[in-house]
Amino acid sequence: MIRVQTDDFDIGAEVAALTDGRTDIGAVVTFSGLVRDASAGARVTSMELEHYPGMTEKELARIEAEAHDRWPLQATLIVHRVGKLAPGDNIVLVVAASAHREAAFEAASFLMDYLKTRAPFWKREEGEGTAHWVDARESDDKAATRWKR
């Protein structure tokens, strides 16, 4: 399940909804990303996240399906916010549920590495009279190479 939305989300409620009545799930791994108040040593007062509606959801569904092909997963969830966010706000939630922890951990890492490097989102940080688009980080690209087949 994937959602791109402007509204905030409740991590506990999302996990509860995903696992409700599911006795086949033995492991749930979550990752949540928040807006930091500093980036590259500069103060951040807000972050604007943009996406390409339709294409973004299609790409997230594709990578979610790939995670299900790679690992024995019972359920996954990706929630990504767009719009203007403030420091401390939720940005992203990735949940991977499996019968066993290893698959859940691996799938959550895979999904997050994809979101950091390939998902069609653009981030613009503002702070102290400046604004700039956030460039891809070489360290994120390097981390994602472990998933290449």
Backbone φ and ψ for 105, nearest 5 degrees, come out as -65, -50
Q: Which domain holds residue 130?
A: 2-147
Q: What is the pLDDT of residue 12?
A: 97
For the chain, how many structural domains are there in total?
1
| Residue 13 neighbours by CB distance under 10 Å | 9
Q: Residue 8: which CATH number? A: 3.90.1170.40
Residue given tokens 């749930």 in the structure block: 28
Structure tokens at 149: 């087949």
pLDDT values of the chain reduced to their tens digit, one per residue, 149 residues: 999 999 999 999 999 999 999 999 999 999 999 999 987 777 999 999 999 999 999 999 999 999 999 999 999 999 999 999 999 999 999 999 999 999 999 999 999 999 988 889 999 999 888 888 887 777 766 777 778 87
CA distance 37 to 33: 13
| Residue 94 neighbours by CB distance under 10 Å | 24
- Is beta strand 73-81 parallel, antiparallel or unpaired with respect to 2-5? parallel
pTM over 0.85: yes
Q: What is the pLDDT of residue 41?
A: 76
Q: What is the pLDDT of residue 29?
A: 98
First to last CA, the chain: 24
